[in-house]
């Protein structure tokens, strides 16, 4: 990482899962360790940026000199993002946000019955990154992630367009790759190009991704 490339720039990153409560002891959430987002925060800091990480429930140390805001639900994450966007140059949406939440959160623990099935009605959560890209004064460069089990490139390309992103980092999730492991590979797609970053430790992958983001950020914003 070339130090100073992002000096004077502000980077906001979401990381980890969000948890949506069902009752006081249970929740719906995604599998996510937050490792990729925290590694990106570290790489952005090394490049000289002022970095804010908005983290769902994860057990990770905050990189030195990175501002951290802890959240639990998607709504809390959306509010923290909103509060952090002023003067944000690059927004990186790495969080594995829960797509649904219970319409009614039970105030008491749901008791288990061995005979009957139960139903929990769910509603979609707010799409944080789409809210960001639809803002009037949106950050100059917005990066999303797509974790898929199949049709990786096709789904990622459609998300790039639908969510109005400048770049999307797509990864296959499965055995030894993706969630909760230290290694990952990414297929990076932007509006007029793409590049594959092969399987490597997330710390190194984050630096390579950051290098690409910086290149595309300046290519877009120097015109
Ligand atoms: O649609 P999907 O969840 O696969 O899209 C992934 C991208 O959208 C990621 O960048 C993720 O952080 C973001 N996202 C979001 N809010 C949601 C769902 C996904 O910001 N509710």
Q: Select from 13, 43, 17 the least CA-distant residue to 179.
A: 17
pLDDT value of residue 179: 60
Is there a binding annotation on residue 109?
Answer: yes
| Any ligand 1 atom below 6 A from CB of 129 | yes
| Any ligand 1 atom below 6 A from CB of 156 | no
**Span of 31-35, 87-91, 159-163 with lowest mean pLDDT:** 31-35
CATH number for region 10-101+117-221: 3.40.50.10300
**Interface ipTM:** 0.94
CA of 114 to the centre of ligand 1 (A): 36
Strand pairing report for 10-15 and 50-55: parallel
Which residues are part of the catalytic machinery? 30
- Residues 104-159: tens digit of each pLDDT: 999 999 988 878 889 999 999 999 999 999 999 999 999 999 988 889 999 999 99
- What are the sequence ranges of the domains in the chain? 10-101+117-221
CA of 109 to the centre of ligand 1 (A): 29
Closest residue by CA, ligand 1 atom 17: 127
25 pLDDT above the threshold of 70: yes
Radius of gyration of the chain (CA): 18
CA atoms within 13 A on the CB side of 89: 17
CA of 112 to the centre of ligand 1 (A): 32
- Neighbouring-strand partners of residue 52: 12, 67
- Using 50, 70 and 90 to split pLDDT, how confident is the model at 95? very high
- Of 34, 128, 153, the residue with max ligand 1 atoms within 8 A of its CB, to mutate for a pocket test, comes to 128
What crossing angle do the helices spanning 35-46 and 202-221 adopt, rounded to 10°?
Answer: 60
| Any ligand 1 atom below 6 A from CB of 169 | no
CA of 212 to the centre of ligand 1 (A): 20
Is there a binding annotation on residue 38?
Answer: no
38 with 63: CB under 8 angstroms? yes
Strand pairing report for 167-172 and 141-148: parallel
């Amino acid at each position: 990482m070339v130090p100073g490339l992002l000096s004077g720039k502000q980077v906001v990153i979401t990381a980890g899962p969000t948890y949506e409560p069902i009752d006081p002891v249970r929740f719906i959430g995604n599998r996510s360790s937050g490792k990729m987002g925290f590694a990106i925060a570290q790489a952005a800091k090394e490049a000289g940026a002022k970095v804010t990480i908005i983290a769902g429930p994860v057990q990770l140390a905050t990189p030195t000199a990175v501002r951290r805001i802890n959240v639990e639900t998607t709504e809390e994450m959306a509010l923290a993002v909103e509060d952090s966007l002023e003067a944000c140059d690059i927004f990186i949406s790495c969080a594995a946000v829960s797509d649904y939440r219970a319409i009614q959160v039970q105030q008491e623990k749901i008791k288990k019955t061995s005979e009957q099935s139960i139903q929990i009605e769910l509603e979609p959560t707010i799409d944080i990154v789409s809210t960001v890209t639809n803002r009037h004064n949106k950050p100059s460069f917005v990066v999303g992630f797509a974790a898929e089990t199949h049709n990786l490139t096709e789904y990622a390309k459609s998300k790039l367009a639908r969510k109005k992103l400048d770049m999307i980092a797509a990864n296959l999730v499965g055995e030894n790759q993706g969630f909760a492991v230290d290694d990952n590979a990414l297929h990076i797609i932007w509006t007029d190009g793409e590049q594959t970053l092969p399987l490597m430790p997330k710390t190194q992958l984050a630096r390579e991704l950051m290098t690409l983001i910086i290149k595309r950020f300046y290519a877009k914003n120097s015109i």
